[in-house]
């Protein structure tokens, strides 16, 4: 163990910072490192700020390849918007939608926008299903064929013939006397694949009449979604402006907007506004504080420049690692870097002290231990988070670690280069230090019974706080939907009949064929669950593109059962002998015909397929998704999950909540581990009793903070744990500074008080934000409580600092 007695400042004859190598080498290293970051940053992606809400979520599956598939699907979902124009008059609703369509259709940010449905679509599908009638048998056709139920098939043909209208054409009757293609078309229409919910094609557009209003649909796929560099450049801004114009032109018209981009936009606007407000207030308060205390521009400018460089470095490193930086990362990251100002404050509090001989190397010697331990504490905690499967957490960790390191290096290598101050601390700056010491003295002077009562009351408070604590890791708390958007989403799912469940299956296979075969086995089970009310519908590629094996089976079955009976069927329908020969020849000619992705690509099925086909991934596997709608029993669906067979059930919201809960547990472990690491580190510097006392400051501050959260009904979640990780960084720092700086109490108390206030300004104000409220409350409280506890607990083994000491000082 090292001796715990710190050398007096005057005893420091030759601090190692005074060595030429460090004095010159340090700034060079700082500049080289920052130049490198700048170089890499400008060669890479510039300022890609993401506000995509999906992108912020952790992957719900631990398997990397599945996580990638999830990400790909999430990106796709992030690009889709559905807008309805609403008007009691259909033609006005149609007109409004057409106006919006015309105003945005050439926008380069839009990949595809669908307004009018071609009248040829149905005949095209009809023809396709006729061409592949033997390969793509509908479910009911297959069942009748398996049963050899020719009579029913024949009766169905007559039923179609005797219907007053037919959606499909009967023109193929001679080549398809069992109407296999027609039956497939009918099955697709009935299953909702070619229209869903209240929606149907009316006057060439997809429309619905719901509760007295007409809704005409516009389906938009954006080429970019959550990426924003400026709010004005966002596609949603343009759409909203156009909507405003149209609603003013066409009376009684309103629009229903749904889709992730609208939410990402709403969230980003709110977050940006919160960032602007909070950082402005925090900035002004911090500046005022620095001006009042130092009355010099040097500490103010230096601190601000250091902090700005820290934020820039954090941003650059995050962009280098992740290619984009999420808006939420900036909210957390900039607050965390606010801690960096603490390093500056410690420096400048000493800088004004004439006893330091106005030498930077001497100042650094005094504060090095405190700020280094504070930095290590934070870095240790955050390093572990880079390994967590949560992109947001990883980004915040990288952002904060790099930003803090930059600020730390600036303080220890660059600050000593600042010319010595001519100013001296004025007595009025000691007023607060005196007041605080008196307060501490009184607390320490309390007699034992009072202390016991205070301790017991605190204990009771903590116990009741923990008993009332509500653990709640709900991903929905990330973002509270604006009321209008929530209404629109609900209405949109009622109109489309597609209630998004956030649940889906991912199918993995070694080839597209294997994926389709596995999917066919899965959809069979899903059909059973659908019939028992577990879900309302699902979208699977194999419903319109059967596997090759299934297509071949279908072809053979049709040949075995139908071709021999076709002669009688054709004669019954009044066709001649030549039609029979032609049908047999046509059947034989189709022996190698198979429906493929390529053939479907330009059809309506191709567009549907595009939304659920994931394709080949770099792990050598092929993937498809089966999207589920109207899920009522997730548990029943999860029983189908069979990772060993490449069938993965993804229940995004619940899984993300579970993942957040696991991450919280992991974060608590990280927190405990970092305390242990810090404690072991302290043992190398201080005796064990002192190490315990120093470590106790943030521990007790954290415990009391959590109790406050419990009492006030705030949830305990991952963000609280993230906040608690920040507490040792400052709490230990305060304890060490009180301990190390007792010989120069005025500067110590000043720097710690300023540090506490700037932290409370930056973190405490976050409590008023929507996204980072619990985080802000936790850090703000933790820091404030650490500040109170540090002089009381952290240095009990040393003579009590008194006002007289301060005066002597």
Partner 1 sequence: MRLVFLLLFVPILSVAAQQEFNRQYMPLGPGNRSTIVEIFKTIGTHPIAKGTFTQTKKLTRLGRSFVSKGNFIFSAKDGLLWNIKTPFASVLLMANDRMVQRTPDGRESVMGGNEVFKRFSHTIQAVFKGDTGLVEVEFVISFTSVDGNWYLKLEPRDKSFRSIIATMFIRGRQFIESFRIVESTGDSVDYVFSDTFFPERLSLEEEKFFAQ
| CB-nearer residue toward partner 1: 122 or 491 | 122
For the record, the structure tokens of 688 come out as: 């064990």
Residues 553-572, interacting with partner 1 (CB under 8 A): 571-572
Binding letters toward partner 1, positions 98-117, x by CB under 8 A: -------------------x
Strands 325-326 and 49-50: parallel
Binding residue for partner 1 (CB under 8 A) from 173, 375, 425, 765? 173
Residue with tokens 């229903």: 256
| CB-nearer residue toward partner 1: 206 or 410 | 206
Distance CA 74, CA 52 (A): 10
**Minimum distance of partner 1 from residue 264's CB (angstroms):** 33
**Minimum distance of partner 1 from residue 317's CB (angstroms):** 54
Binding residue for partner 1 (CB under 8 A) from 67, 74, 142, 189? 189
For residue 734, count other CB atoms closer than 10 A to its CB: 30
List CB contacts of 116: < 8 A, sequence separation 6 or more. 204, 205
| CB-nearer residue toward partner 1: 164 or 449 | 164
| CB-nearer residue toward partner 1: 98 or 658 | 98
Q: Answer yes or no whether residue 200 interacts with partner 1 by CB under 8 A.
A: yes
**Minimum distance of partner 1 from residue 200's CB (angstroms):** 3
| CB-nearer residue toward partner 1: 194 or 720 | 194
| CB-nearer residue toward partner 1: 495 or 515 | 495
Binding residue for partner 1 (CB under 8 A) from 170, 563, 565, 683? 170
Distance CA 604, CA 609 (A): 9
| CB-nearer residue toward partner 1: 117 or 703 | 117
CA end-to-end span of the chain, whole Å?
30
Determine the distance from the C-alpha atom of residue 44 to the mean position of all C-alpha atoms in its chain, rounded to a whole number.
Answer: 23
| CB-nearer residue toward partner 1: 18 or 200 | 200
Q: Which stretch binds partner 1 (CB under 8 A): 170-178, 657-665, 738-746, 793-801?
A: 170-178
**Minimum distance of partner 1 from residue 215's CB (angstroms):** 13
Residues 142-161, interacting with partner 1 (CB under 8 A): 152, 154-156, 158-159, 161
Query: For 515-583, where are the E strands, in sequence order?
Result: 537-539
Tell me how long the chain is: 809
| CB-nearer residue toward partner 1: 172 or 332 | 172
Q: Answer yes or no whether residue 231 interacts with partner 1 by CB under 8 A.
A: no
Q: Answer yes or no whether residue 642 interacts with partner 1 by CB under 8 A.
A: no
**Minimum distance of partner 1 from residue 139's CB (angstroms):** 13
| CB-nearer residue toward partner 1: 84 or 575 | 575
Distance CA 800, CA 438 (A): 11
Distance CA 231, CA 227 (A): 10
Distance CA 8, CA 20 (A): 23
**Minimum distance of partner 1 from residue 611's CB (angstroms):** 21
Strands 647-651 and 500-509: antiparallel
**Minimum distance of partner 1 from residue 203's CB (angstroms):** 5
Distance CA 626, CA 655 (A): 17
**Minimum distance of partner 1 from residue 197's CB (angstroms):** 9
Residues 454-483, interacting with partner 1 (CB under 8 A): none
Residues 649-688, interacting with partner 1 (CB under 8 A): none
DSSP tag of 642: B
Distance CA 366, CA 348 (A): 12
Write the DSSP assignment of 729-798 as a string of letters: HHHHHHHHHHHHTGGGHHHHHHHHHHHHHHHIIIIIGGGGSSSSHHHHHHHHHHHHHHHHHHHHHTTTTS
Q: Please list the residues that pair with 222 across neighbouring strands.
A: 110
For the record, the structure tokens of 625 come out as: 């998704």
Q: Is 81 left (phi over 0), alpha (psi -120 to 50) or beta?
A: beta
| CB-nearer residue toward partner 1: 119 or 598 | 119
Distance CA 56, CA 50 (A): 9
Among the listed residues 55, 108, 103, the one whose alpha carbon sits nearest the alpha carbon of residue 83? 103
Residues 115-144, interacting with partner 1 (CB under 8 A): 117, 119, 122
Distance CA 53, CA 482 (A): 14
**Minimum distance of partner 1 from residue 576's CB (angstroms):** 11
| CB-nearer residue toward partner 1: 95 or 508 | 95
Q: Answer yes or no whether residue 514 interacts with partner 1 by CB under 8 A.
A: no
Q: Answer yes or no whether residue 162 interacts with partner 1 by CB under 8 A.
A: yes
Residues 568-597, interacting with partner 1 (CB under 8 A): 571-575
**Minimum distance of partner 1 from residue 126's CB (angstroms):** 10
Binding letters toward partner 1, positions 521-560, x by CB under 8 A: ----------------------------------------
Distance CA 312, CA 305 (A): 10
Distance CA 654, CA 645 (A): 23
| CB-nearer residue toward partner 1: 45 or 204 | 204
Binding interface with partner 1 (CB under 8 A) = 117, 119, 122, 152, 154-156, 158-159, 161-167, 169-171, 173-174, 186, 189-190, 192, 195, 200-204, 571-575
């Amino acid at each position: 163990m090292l001796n715990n007695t710190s050398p007096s400042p005057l005893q420091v004859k030759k601090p190692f910072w005074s060595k030429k190598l460090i004095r010159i080498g340090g700034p060079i290293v700082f500049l080289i490192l920052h130049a490198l970051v700048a170089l890499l940053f400008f060669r890479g992606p510039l300022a890609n700020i993401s506000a995509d809400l999906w992108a912020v979520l952790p992957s719900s599956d631990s398997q990397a390849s599945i996580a990638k598939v999830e990400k790909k699907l999430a990106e796709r979902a992030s690009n889709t918007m559905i807008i309805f124009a609403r008007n009691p008059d259909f033609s006005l609703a149609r007109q409004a939608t057409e106006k919006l369509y015309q105003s945005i259709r050439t926008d380069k940010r839009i990949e595809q926008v669908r307004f009018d449905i071609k009248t040829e679509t149905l005949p095209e599908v009809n023809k396709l299903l006729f061409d592949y009638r033997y390969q793509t048998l509908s479910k009911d056709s297959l069942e009748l064929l398996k049963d050899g139920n020719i009579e029913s098939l024949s009766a169905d043909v007559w039923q179609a013939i005797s219907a007053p209208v037919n959606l499909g054409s009967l023109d193929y009757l001679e080549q398809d006397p069992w109407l296999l293609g027609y039956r497939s078309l009918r099955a697709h229409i009935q299953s909702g694949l070619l229209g869903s919910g209240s929606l149907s094609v009316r006057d060439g557009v997809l429309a619905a009449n719901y509760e007295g209003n007409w809704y005409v649909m516009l389906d938009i796929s954006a080429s970019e979604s959550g990426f924003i560099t400026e709010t004005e450049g966002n596609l949603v801004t343009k759409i909203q402006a156009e909507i405003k114009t149209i609603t003013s032109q066409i009376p009684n018209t309103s629009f229903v907007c749904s889709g992730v981009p609208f939410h990402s936009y709403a969230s980003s606007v709110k977050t940006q506004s919160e960032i602007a407000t909070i950082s402005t207030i925090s900035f002004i308060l911090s500046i005022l504080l620095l001006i009042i205390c130092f009355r010099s521009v040097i500490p103010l400018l230096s601190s601000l420049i250091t902090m700005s460089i820290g934020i820039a470095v954090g941003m650059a490193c995050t962009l280098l690692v992740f290619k984009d930086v999420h808006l939420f990362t900036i909210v957390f990251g900039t607050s965390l870097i606010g801690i960096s100002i603490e390093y500056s404050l410690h420096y400048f509090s000493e800088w004004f002290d004439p006893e330091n001989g106005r030498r930077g190397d001497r100042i650094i010697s005094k504060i090095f231990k405190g700020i280094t331990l504070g930095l290590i504490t934070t870095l240790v905690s955050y390093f572990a988070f880079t390994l967590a499967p949560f992109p947001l957490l990883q980004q915040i960790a990288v952002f904060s670690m790099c930003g803090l390191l930059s600020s730390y290096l600036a303080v220890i290598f660059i600050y000593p280069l600042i010319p010595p101050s001519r100013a001296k601390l004025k007595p009025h700056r000691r007023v607060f230090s005196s007041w605080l010491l008196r307060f501490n003295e009184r607390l320490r002077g309390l007699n034992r019974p009072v202390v016991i009562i205070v301790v017991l009351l605190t204990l009771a408070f903590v116990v009741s706080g923990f008993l009332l604590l509500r653990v709640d890791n709900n991903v929905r708390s990330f973002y509270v939907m604006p009321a209008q958007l929530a209404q629109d989403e609900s209405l949109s799912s009622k109109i489309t009949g597609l209630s998004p469940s956030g649940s889906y299956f991912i199918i993995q296979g070694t080839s597209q064929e294997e994926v389709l075969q596995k999917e066919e086995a899965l959809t069979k089970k899903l059909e059973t669950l659908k019939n028992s009310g577990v879900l309302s519908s699902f979208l699977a590629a194999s419903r319109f593109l059967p596997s090759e094996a299934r297509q071949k089976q279908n072809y053979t079955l049709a040949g075995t059962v139908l071709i021999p009976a076709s002669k009688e069927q054709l004669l019954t329908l009044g066709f001649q002998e030549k039609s029979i020969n032609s049908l047999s020849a046509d059947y034989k000619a189709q022996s190698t015909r198979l429906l493929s992705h390529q053939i479907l690509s330009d059809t309506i099925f191709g567009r549907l397929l595009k939304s659920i086909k994931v394709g080949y991934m770099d792990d050598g596997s092929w993937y498809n998704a089966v999207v589920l709608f109207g899920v009522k029993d997730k548990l029943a669906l999860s029983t189908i999950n069979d990772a060993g067979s490449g069938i993965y059930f993804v229940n995004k919201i619940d899984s993300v909540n579970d993942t957040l809960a696991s991450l919280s547990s992991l974060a608590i472990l990280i927190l405990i581990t970092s305390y242990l690491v810090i404690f072991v580190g302290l043992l190398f510097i201080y005796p064990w009793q002192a190490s315990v006392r120093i470590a106790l400051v943030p521990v007790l501050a954290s415990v009391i903070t959590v109790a406050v959260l419990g009492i006030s009904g705030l949830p305990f979640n991952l963000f609280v744990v993230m906040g608690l990780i920040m507490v040792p960084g400052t709490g230990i720092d305060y304890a060490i500074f009180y301990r190390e700086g007792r010989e120069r109490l005025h500067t110590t108390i000043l720097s710690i008080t300023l540090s506490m206030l700037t932290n409370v300004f930056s973190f405490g104000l976050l409590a008023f934000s929507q996204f980072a409220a619990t985080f802000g409350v936790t850090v703000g409280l933790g820091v404030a409580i650490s500040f109170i506890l540090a002089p009381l607990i952290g240095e009990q083994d040393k003579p009590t600092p008194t006002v007289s000491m301060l005066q002597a000082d």
